[in-house]
Amino acid sequence: MILEKRPTKALINLHNLVANAREIKARLPRGQEVMPIIKANAYGHGAVPVAEALVDAGFTKLAVATFEEGVELRQGAIAADVYILNGIHAALSHYHQYQLVPILHQMDEIQRVVSFSQSLKQPFPVGIKFDTGMGRLGLLSNEVSAVTALLKSANVDLHCVITHLARADESVEHTKTPYERFHEIRKNFRAAGFVSTKFSICNSASIIDKHFDDFDWVRPGIALYGVYPHERQRELMALKPVLELKTRIIELKKLPTGADVGYGATFVTKCDSLIAILPIGYADGYPRLISNRGFVLVRGERVPIVGRISMDLMAVDVTNVADVCLYDEVTLIGSDGAQTIRVEEVALWAETISYEILTGMMPRVYREYA
C-alpha cells in the first residue's frame, strides 16, 4: 500500500445526522418545530454539507453564531431561513443582502435596526434574545416594555424571541426559574400584540429530557451530532454518532527496553516494544493533554498513546497487537470491530467537554462525507 495523501480524516455520516434530527422531531409535541444549530462549522462537521443534508430532509430553519457563518451558508446555496445568534457584527445592509436574521440582544442593536428598517419596503426580520439566568447575552425581563414599544413603531418582522439554558444538562430542576421567567416574557409580548412571534428555549439537554413546555421552536446542537450533553442522558434517547476520526500508521519502530519516546522523554519503554507513529497531533485539534493517558483502536484492539502528542505526530504502543502492519487504519474516535471510542471519552481524557473536541478539529483534517 502507498499513501498518496495524508490519511488523517474525519468521516461524517450524514445519514446518522438526519436520523438524529428526525428522532428529535419525533419527540416534539404537536406544532413545535426544530431549528438545528450548525454554528462553529456545524460543531466541526462541516457547515455547508450538514446544512444541505438537513434542508434536503425538510428542515427549514438553521442557526449559526456569526454573520460570517451565515454568509458561508448563503454562498453554499443554502436557501433555508438562517438566524445569527450573536447579534449584529456587520452592516445591517449586509444582513439584508444575504437574507440573514439577526438575533438582537441589547437595546442599541434594536435601535439600529429600527432606524435601518425605515428605508426598507418590506419589514426587516429579526429575533430578540432575553437573559433568563445565563448571565451572558440577552436583554433582561424588565426591558420587555421598552423593547415592545420600540418594535411596534418599527418596520420589522419579529420572527422569534429566544433564551438559553445554563444548567439544563444537570437536571430539569435547574430549568424551573428560566422557564418561569420566559413564560412571563411571552405573556408580555402577547399582551403587546406580538401574536405570531415564536418563542424558543429548549436546547439539546432539555429536548432529551422531554422538557418542552408549550414553546414553539427547539434548538438542538450537540445532540444532532450524536453526542449527549450529560452522561445521565445516555439511556433517555438513542443518538447515532455522526463523526469518526481515523488515520493510518506511517512508521513502525522496534525499540529496546529503556528507549525514550517523544518530546521530554515522558514515556520510556519497559520492555522491547513496537511503537506506531501516527500523522495526527495537536495542530489537528487532538489535545496534547491526552498524552500518556488516552487510547486508540488498531485492528480492533485498544492500544495506549505513549509519549507527548506533538504538533503533527503521536505514538502508540502496538506491541501486543497481532499482525500489525505499516499503513494499518487507526481509529481515534469511532468503532473498530467490537471496540468503540466515543468523543465523550476522548473529552474525559483531555479534561474538557465533547463540544471542544469536535469544534477544535482543524481544517487540515480532511472531511469525508457519506
pLDDT tens across 33-74, in order? Answer: 999 999 999 999 999 999 999 999 999 999 999 999 999 999
Does residue 2 register a pLDDT over 80?
Answer: no
Residues 6+ apart with CB under 8 A from 280: 8, 247, 286, 312, 313, 314, 332, 365
Percent of all residues in the chain with a pLDDT value above 90, rounded to a whole number:
96
Helices (H) and strands (E) counted in the chain, each on its own, are 11, 20
Mean pLDDT over the full length of the chain: 97
Which overall architecture, per CATH, does domain 14-229 show?
Alpha-Beta Barrel (3.20)
Does residue 1 register a pLDDT over 90?
Answer: no
Work out the pLDDT band at 30, boundaries 50, 70, 90: confident
5 is catalytic: no
Q: Please state the pTM of the whole predicted model.
A: 0.96
Per-residue pLDDT of 164-191, as tens digits, reads 999 999 988 889 999 999 999 999 999 9
Give CA torsion, residues 44, 47, 50, 54, to 10 deg.
130
Domain positions in the chain are 14-229, 243-369
Work out the pLDDT band at 160, boundaries 50, 70, 90: very high
Among residues 152, 176, 210, 263, the one annotated as catalytic is 263
Among residues 39, 129, 198, 246, the one annotated as catalytic is 39
Work out the pLDDT band at 31, boundaries 50, 70, 90: confident
263 is catalytic: yes
Residue 51, pLDDT score: 98
| Pick from 236, 247, 256, 240: nearest CA to 277 | 247
Number of other CB atoms surrounding residue 360 within 10 Å? 16
What gap in Å lies between CA 5 and CA 176, rounded to an integer?
52
CATH homologous superfamily of 243-369 equals: Lyase, Ornithine Decarboxylase; Chain A, domain 1 (2.40.37.10)
Bridge partners (DSSP) listed for residue 156? 124
Is residue 313 within 8 Å of residue 284, measured between CB atoms?
Answer: no
Per-residue pLDDT of 269-301, as tens digits, reads 999 999 999 999 999 999 999 999 999 999 999
Per-residue pLDDT of 318-330, as tens digits, reads 999 999 999 999 9
